[in-house]
Amino acid sequence: MSALAYCLVAWLFLIGIYGVVTSRNLIHLVVCLSVAQSATDILLLEIGYRSGGHAPVFVSLPARPGPAVDAVMQALALTDVVVGAAVTGLLLALVVQLHKRAGTLDPDALRATRD
Amino acid sequence: MSEAVIAVAMAWVAVSGTAVVLTRDPLRQAFVAGFFGLGLAFLYLSLQAADVALSQIVVGAIALPLIVLLSLAKVRKDRE
Amino acid sequence: MSRRARLAFFAVAAAALAMTLGAGLAGLPSFGGQVTAYARMLNRLAPPQRHVTDVVSAISFDYRGIDTLFEEFILLGAVAGISVLLRPLSDEARVLPEDKAPDRAIPPPSPAVWLLAVILSSLLVLAGIETVTHGQLTPGGGFQGGVILASASYVAYLGTNYVTVERFQPAPLLEASDGVGASGYVFIGLLGLLAGASFLSNVVGLGVTGNLISGGTIPLLNLVVGVEVAGGFAILASEFLDQTVVIRTRRR
């Protein structure tokens, strides 16, 4: 179970970076980057998981609730998800303006400077 | 039981994450990314992270597909 | 460098990264083991100390409130960056959508779709307000509730048209709410300084656990963050919508 859990994180990160490197379309590239970012959220929550634990909400619990999972990791991952979406929006705004100027969405066809 | 649920969620996330990267057309990729976001929310729920799953559902099902599709629409309109 | 050279370089670098990740991840404690002492302490101490039942909200807005302040300002900066990037450039103009054939009008969406959009966006506003205000009791809070509130305008756009949505969310209102939310967090933090404790201390009365008004400054901070995130995501969508629907290159 540990091996599967942590291999998932490494696999998602590597496949996201692979998508960024081999992409032929800038919008495809931005979505692959968000896949790589979600790998870090999963790692945070996996570190904080406790077998047999319940969510750190202490209302309407059963008679013998058992331990709770790590709430600090959830606080870190929570803002990460929302702010990650806003930063993805910023990247897509860059892509839209770039397409207007360069006329193409292919990273290989973009030149460094324009005279 | 909960370990099995977590394993299923992880398999879902791994397969759909690979599919997101291997789908080269951005319009089709937006749909697969929605499926990947749903898998992520399911994984977060099975890891007992309720707040994070709620964030992922609203962001991955609402905000992210909207801005990706609007960018695609803008790019397509510019190409005409 | 050429594409082939870049892929070869990536293959070598990815192999090195995979080995490093493997070595690092193998050293982590086993999945599902004991959580850290800080987390166990907070799970035991947060409900009696702050009179909340959702410990994640207490950590986000009280014990680690300064981190949430920085995250909120990252969101503000990203939205400001999008507004700057997607402004009308010098060779563009804002043209409201109109049919190219002037003798026909654009057919409006069917009344059933319009009604469904109105009902659904009202329900989303209610759900968003409920999520924001109950952040200290159940999973929820400012960030999630703010995005739900912003999605009400998305649904309204999908079922009606651009002009209707723009009428109900004027740009000054969205920008004002974004700014009020961000600065409101700082002002509530300054309340702590005024009361003689440190910045972002929980100095308002704590209330009874389980009530809606409990946790001191935590529901106040939830409200401000909800306002800011809702305004931010609404601005984000309206900027992209403007680009798609309204902004046109001026033909020379």
Amino acid identity of residue A40, one-letter, is T
Contact assignment for A79 to C68 by CB distance below 8 Å: yes
pLDDT bucket at C96, cuts 50 / 70 / 90? confident
Residue A92 φ then ψ, to 5°: -65, -35
Residue C17 domain-assigned?
no
What integer is the mean pLDDT of A58-68? 83
Indicate whether C200 pLDDT > 80: no
Cβ–Cβ below 8 Å for B18 and A15: yes
C237 contacts chain B (CB < 8 A)? yes
Segment among A11-15, A55-59, C78-82, C232-236 with least mean pLDDT: A55-59
pTM: 0.90
**In sequence order, which residues have a C-beta less than 8 Å from that of residue C172 and are 6 or more positions away?**
none
**Spatial separation of the C-alpha atoms in residues A24 and B30, rounded to whole Å:** 16
Residues of B in contact with C151 (CB under 8 A): 58, 62-63
Nearest chain C residue to A78 by CA distance is C143
Chain A environment of C7 (Cβ under 8 Å): 21-22
Question: How high is the pLDDT of residue C99?
Answer: 59
Q: What is the mean pLDDT of residues C72-86?
A: 92
Confidence at residue B27, expressed as pLDDT on a 0 to 100 scale: 92
b/e per residue, C171-190, with b = 16+ CB within 10 A?
eeebbebbeebbebbeebbe
- pLDDT value of position B41: 95
Torsion, Cα of C203, C204, C207, C209 (10° steps): -50
Output the pLDDT for position A23: 92
Quickly state the pLDDT bin for C35 (edges 50, 70, 90). confident
Pick among A9, A70, A87, A110 to test the C interface (most C CBs inside 10 A): A70
Rounded to two decimals, the ipTM of the complex is 0.91
Across the interface, do B36 and A35 touch by the CB < 8 Å criterion? yes
**What is the arithmetic mean of pLDDT over C206-223?**
84
Task: With H, G, I as helix, E, B as strand and everything else as coil, classify residue C90.
Answer: coil
Distance from the Cα of residue B40 to its chain's centroid: 7
Q: What share of chain B in percent tops pLDDT 90?
A: 79
CATH number, domain of A93, equals 1.10.287.3510
Residue A85 inside a domain? The answer is yes
Establish if C139 belongs to a structural domain: yes
pLDDT tens digits for A90-105? Answer: 999 999 999 888 888 8
**Where does the pLDDT of residue C213 fall: very low under 50, low under 70, confident under 90, or very high at 90 and above?**
confident
Domain with C86 in it: 36-249
Question: Residue A57 falls within a domain, yes or no?
Answer: no
pLDDT > 80? residue C182: yes
Alpha-carbon distance A54 to nearest alpha carbon in chain B (angstroms): 6
Chain A nearest-CA distance from C117, in A, is 24
Structural domain harbouring A16:
2-49+68-105
What's the confidence (pLDDT) of residue A112? 66
Q: How many folded domains does chain A comprise?
A: 1
Domain membership of residue C31 (yes or no) is: no
Q: What is the mean pLDDT of chain A?
A: 89
Closest Cα in chain B, distance from residue A43 (Å)? 11
Counting one residue from chain B and one from chain C, the pairs whose CB atoms sit within 8 A come to 49
Q: Output the pLDDT for position C101.
A: 65
Please state, in angstroms and rounded to a whole number, the distance separating the CA atoms of residues C180 and C86.
22
Name which residue leads in pLDDT, A51 or C199: A51
More confident residue, C35 or C233: C233
For residues C212 and C248, is the Cβ–Cβ distance under 8 A?
A: no
**Interfacial B residues in 1-60 facing A (CB < 8 Å):** 2-3, 6-7, 10, 13-14, 17-18, 20-26, 29-30, 33, 36, 40, 43-44, 47-52, 55-56, 59
- Residue A112 lies inside a defined structural domain of this protein: no
Q: Chain B contact for A51, CB < 8 A?
A: yes
Residues 6+ apart with CB under 8 A from A22: C7, C10
A82 domain residue, yes or no: yes
Residue of chain A minimizing CA distance to B73: A96
Q: What is the mean pLDDT of chain C?
A: 86
Partner-chain contact C144 B58, CB within 8 Å: yes
- Residue A70, chain C, CB below 8 Å: the answer is yes
Residue C195 lies in a domain: yes
Q: What is the DSSP string of C187-227?
A: HHHHHHHHTTS-TT---S----TTSSS-STHHHHHHHHHHH
* Percent of chain C whose predicted confidence (pLDDT) is above 70: 94
Tell me if A60 is assigned to some domain. no
Residue C98 scores a pLDDT above 80: no
| Distance (Å, whole) CA C171 – CA C168 | 10
Answer yes or no: is A62 within a domain: no
Does B71 sit within 8 Å of C241, measured CB to CB? no
Helix ranges (H only) for chain C are 3-26, 37-50, 55-58, 65-85, 111-133, 142-159, 162-168, 171-194, 217-241
Q: What per-residue confidence (pLDDT) applies to B29? A: 94
Q: Is C69 inside any structural domain?
A: yes
Q: Is residue A80 part of a domain?
A: yes
Out of A88-92, C44-48, C158-162, the most confident range is: A88-92
Higher pLDDT: C163 or C45? It is C45
Assess C143–B contact: CB distance below 8 Å, yes or no. Answer: yes
What's the structural domain count of chain C? 1
HEC sequence for chain B: CHHHHHHHHHHHHHHHHHHHHHCCCHHHHHHHHHHHHHHHHHHHHHCCCHHHHHHHHHHHHHHHHHHHHHHHHHHHHHHC
C94 φ/ψ angles, rounded to the nearest 5 degrees: -90, 120
Residue B28 pLDDT > 70, yes or no?
Answer: yes
Q: Quote the pLDDT of residue B3.
A: 87
* Band of residue A114 on the pLDDT scale cut at 50, 70, 90: low
Name the domain count of chain B: 1
Residues from chain B contacting residue A34 (CB–CB below 8 Å): 33, 64
Domain span including residue B44: 2-79
Kindly state the tokens that stand for C111. Answer: 């009344």
Using DSSP's 3-state secondary structure scheme, residue C110 falls into: coil
Lowest mean pLDDT among A35-44, A50-59, C206-215: C206-215
Q: Which of B36-40, B58-62, C61-65, C135-139 has the highest mean pLDDT?
A: B36-40
The model's pLDDT over A41-51, given as tens digits with 9 standing for 90+, comes to: 999 999 989 88
The predicted-structure confidence for B35-61, as pLDDT tens digits, reads as follows 999 999 999 999 999 999 999 999 998
**Separation CA C164–CA A43 (nearest Å):** 43
For residue C24, tell me if it sits in a domain: no
